[in-house]
Each structure stands twice: as structure tokens, then as C-alpha cells.
Structure 1
């Protein structure tokens, strides 16, 4: 197929429309349950009160704000794929925004700004500060919407659009984008990821920096766990190792969520607390730190995670029985093995390192008589 034909074919999959809608109409759609702004996303979008106030100020002053992208489902409902924070801020100001448990957010109280110092203390329900005629004018302000229309139940165009619109920005980390995708694609899998990351032994074994914690690196490790135990050795040998690791993890997780193997998911869920109880009882917070010069040192090292987890998953029963005699020494010896040294050489691409270490791990922790 030529480039011209490929473009024509793919354009058929993207049915897009655009039009303005008043804030009052948007509020009614939301109240009627016809607009999903994903309240669960609020834990990832970190706007403070000043940023929220600036958005409301922009609307009051007639300053254009970027268009909001939504996916129109087969049943006609709108699913917001970009603009969650803008819409959530507006709905919170209107005092109609609800949390994912159905309870209402506290009303948004605005701050004074350079251009509108009288905004300080203004909230929607206080008609002494925000007059009825000002409310009417605000609800008549227009927002621009771009609508991507889904063509079938398994249409994935909105997920692709979400990634393109959010990748490269400063407001979301790569893992936070994956978290949002999981909420959109397979909320049960996202809830499983959260359940696993709350495991006490896992937390003790993976001490994170403040930045890592804020960017949800703990959930990235959960994603890696779920994917690593799924990859076959043949698949590891065949993947394009020149790809970006972030893109690879996102695409693989999306595939995992859409084509879930219930047996593997159940096995992964059952083994996770056992693996981290075993690791915590043997080496605790040192387990994923490099062993060098007779001691464990440095931060949590991803190469250590990749060298330990896949092999333990396959041989967990054996290592639970032999943890006292062999496991600590087996982990210490990882860092002198030629396979580990070769995989972690400077200049080795992240996917190539991952592939080599997963295969190494399965051999290194294999069952022994």
C-alpha cells in the first residue's frame, strides 16, 4: 500500500467535528451524565488555586482558551480526552463537580489577580460578590470543542489521541499518562495496579525519591512487573530494541489492558505479595540496590529489578523454601555475572538491556536440586 493510500485509509478512521458550546450547555451535559470528565484523573492533574483562578479570569476577560477534545461514544456520550483540568476547574467554579465517589468538591474560591483584584474571595454561590447577571454572562461564554466520533465498540482512536495530546507536555509524566489510559481502557486493571502498589513490603523494598513518588514511579514498577512476567523469551528476542522505552511500555500496557489474560492476571496478583514479602524478609530496602565492595549502596536500580523479578516469578515456590540458604547470596552474585555486566554497559539501549536482563533473570533464578 502506498503512502497516499495509507493516509486515505487511516483518515477514514478519524471522524472529527468541531463547534463552540456555551458553558451553561456544558454544565447541563455534565449534570445529565452525558459528559465524562474522569474525576479519577484529578490525582494526576496538579493545578493549584492560582492556576484555576487564571483560567476563570481568562474566560471572564474573553481571552481564548485552547479547544477541548472529546470522544463521542456510540451511545452519544462525550468522553473527555484532553481538557480535563480546564473543564473540571469550570465545573468546580459552578459548584457542580463531583468526585469519583459521587460526593461534591468544595466550591472553588478565586484569588485576586493583577487584572481583576476584586476576584479575591469570589465563589459561585455568593451573590453579593458574583452577581446574578455576572453568572448569566459567564454561562453564556463559549468553549470550543473538537469531537472525535467513535466508529465502533473497540475504536481505539481516542486512546491514540489522548497520548498524542498529552505526550511531551510538562503537566503529566509518562506513567501518569499510562494511569489515565488505564482508567479509560480498563479501570479494573488500573484498580489492580493501585492495589498492588499499596503492598507494604513492596513499598519497603522500593524507597523512592520525592520526585519519583510525585511522578508515580512506583506504579511504573507495577506496570513493569505485570509486563515482564508476560513477555516470552521469543518475544524478547524479536522486539525492535531501538524504540523508546516510554512508548514501548505505554503501547504494551494498552495491549495488555485490551487483551487481558485473566489467568495470568490472577497469577500475577497472587504472586506479587509473596514475592515482595520474600524480598523484604531477606534484604528489605537493599534488594534493588547494587551490591559492590561488600555492601549494597545507591538508589533503587531498575536493572536490579529486571534481573530479579522475572526469575523469582517463575520459581517462587522454590525460593520461598530456600530463602535463608541461597537467595541473599544469589542476589549478591548478580552483579559479577557476565550477562549482567554486558547488559548494563554504557550505551546499551533501555529495551535491549531489559530484554537481556529478563532472559538472564529466568536462567539465574531457575530451579535447582
Structure 2
């Protein structure tokens, strides 16, 4: 299919009005099964709109023909490439952002600076609506596998896809679905575990994926990108333990939430935002939940507060008898933090401390 793909693509010009109306009517849609989340920051959006208003060319838009209504003839198109450009166009026309002066060329600061679409002079509004986009229309005979390969190729340069965004394009099965479902839980937003930039670039999905891999394969599993890809492939079509893992994951988060709520000193609120600490806490709580012997989570919360207070304090406190394993925990948190040995060491020292003083 790749060899004759060129024959299945037609290049045509379409104005901004066509693209805006298409997205508004859902005739032009983002295919979330392989597209990444919206990535562009404000400065990128401003520069694109400035380019359009100046009448300069921008890269092509790729639309893949999908469903055609046999009665009306209306056809739906999926965005293969151009989500960022079309997203910025729609948001600007909807007055969702202004053209910040700091992101404009000097000669345009006075004309466009600080203005939303509604504030533009009529001639510039008209020019924006009439702006001609170069659109490549891909025939519906092209299969999804070829479309994904095209998408990955087009995104191999500017705003290069990170490993998780590549996985999102390559896999659309059960393992990814569970990771995305867990990412939608209230817990993450409640404690601001992930930054907006993490979510935009799907880093939250990757971290949740490593935690799911821990549930499936244990703490000694490697987390190289190659290994994560293999797990995605393994559980893409068949994932019999999906419901079991979902319930267990939620149980661990519920207990972590209980621990955080009982921390009157708020020591743990910053700790959980550090990914290495979060992983260590997750693996520890998993152990406590599975053992069924450690059910007093108020006491566990107090112990963890003491541990991480000592972690943040001077070495004299760290070296005290109660925190004999903290030095090794610190070392494992500073050197090769994602290695199997470091993850295992942090878990062991934290577990030894809780078990000893529970």
C-alpha cells in the first residue's frame, strides 16, 4: 500500500472557512486512536496565526476520508497531520486567545498585539477566512496501518513524538485503554501529580503504564521503552487481568489518598509529586494491601511523614537509629533513579522501615 499511496492522495486548496466549518460540524475530526493530545503552547499558536495573517504559506494538512453518508453525500475526514494548526485556527476564531506581543515580530506588534479575532480590523478577519490551506485528501481505500505509518513519518521532525506518543499511534488496544481510564481518575488532579505539560505529552500515560507493568510483572521488570512496547503488544488484544488490575490499581490509590488526607503536616503532598517517590509509595502500598497485615493507615501515614521529614533534613537526622535505611534510599533516589536496582532498593528500605516500626 505504501508504494502506491501517492496515487491515493489528491492535493487541493481549501480556505479557513471550510476547515473551521468542517470541525464545527464534526465532518473533520481528530482520530484519538493514533493522534496525540494537543501539544502546542500559546507562542506556537500565535506564530501560526501571525503567519496566516501575513499571507505566508504553512505546512500542508492531511485529511483521511472516512465515512460517506449514502443519502446526503456528506463525508467525514480524519486529521492525519495538522491537528496543531487546525486547533490553533479554531481557538483563535473562537476568541480563546489573544496575539501576545512578545510572540509577534516587531513589525506586527502594533497591528496585531494583544488582539483576539474579534478585535482584528475587518480586512484581516476577511483575509483569515479566505486564507488558502494546502490540503492532501487521502482516499478511504488506504488502510489504517498505512495511515499510522504516514502519521509517524510526518511527525518525525518538528515537535517530534516522544515514546509514549508513538505508542499511542501504534497501539489502540486493551492495555492503553486501561492506562487512559486510570489517567482519568480524580486522584491525579486532586494532588496535582502531573503537570499540564506532562498530560499534553502523554507522560502521565507512560508513568501509569509502568505502574500497570509492575502489577503484572513485579518490581524487577525493566522499564526500557522497548520493554514497555513489548508489554503494550502483549496486552493489546488480549488482557484477561484487565478488570483485576483496574480494581487493584484503584485500591492502591484509595489507600494512598487515605494516607495523604491524614498527613496534617502536609509533608507528603510535595513528595508524591516526585515521580520516583510516587513509584516507591505505590509499590509499598501495594505490598501493604496484598499482605492484609497492615491495615492501620493512620499509623502508616505518621510513619511515612517521619521518614520523609528525615529525608528532607540534615544527615545527622538521617543517620539516627530509626532511619538506618534512609541513606541507602537517598542514594537509590539520586543515582540511576529508574534502574531496576534503584527501584528495588527504595522499596526494600521503605518496607523495612514500615514493617519494623508498625
TM-score (norm 2): 0.59
The aligned counterpart of 1:58 is: 51
Deviations 1:194-249 (A, max 9, x none): 3334564x44xx6xxxxx7342379856753554244357576564x6x35xx766
Q: Per the alignment, in what secondary structure is the counterpart of residue 130 of structure 1?
A: helix
Deviation at 1:312, TM superposition (A): 1.1
Matched, 1:143 2:134: yes
Unaligned runs of 5+ in 1: 1-9, 96-104, 207-211, 290-297
Aligned residues of 2:11 and 2:135 also touching (Cα < 8 A): yes
Task: Find the counterpart in structure 1 of residue 243 from structure 2.
Answer: 262
Residues 110-119 or 58-67, more deviating: 110-119
Does the CA-based 8 Å contact 2:187-2:257 persist in structure 1? no
Q: Cα 1:339–1:268, aligned 2, differ >3 Å: closer, same or farther?
A: same
Aligned CA distance change for structure 1 residues 194 and 42 (closer, same or farther; 3 Å): same
Give the corresponding residue for 2:314: none
2:41 alignment partner in structure 1: 46
Structure 1 position 17, deviation (Å): 3.5
2:283 aligns with: 310
Give the Cα–Cα distance (whole angstroms) in 2 for the partners of residues 222 and 345 of structure 1: 24
| Count of residues in correspondence between the two structures | 321
Q: In structure 2, what is the equivalent of residue 86 of structure 1? A: 85
Correspondence for 1:292? none
- How far the C-alpha of 1:140 sits from its partner, in A, is 5.7
Query: Which residue number in structure 1 is paired with residue 312 of structure 2?
Result: none
Give the distance between the partners of 1:345 and 1:84, measured in 2 at CA: 39
In 2, Cα distance between equivalents of 1:33 and 1:20 = 20
TM-score with structure 1 setting the length: 0.58
RMSD, matched Cα: 5.6
Q: CA deviation at 1:309?
A: 0.9
Deviations 1:333-359 (A, max 9, x none): 78717985785573x372434663587
Which of residues 86, 95, 98 is equivalent to 1:106? Answer: 95
CA distance in 2, matches of 1:168, 1:334: 49
Is the CA contact 2:63–2:80 (under 8 Å) kept in the aligned structure 1? yes
SS of the equivalent of 2:214 reads coil
CA distance 1:339–1:60, shift in 2 (3 Å): closer
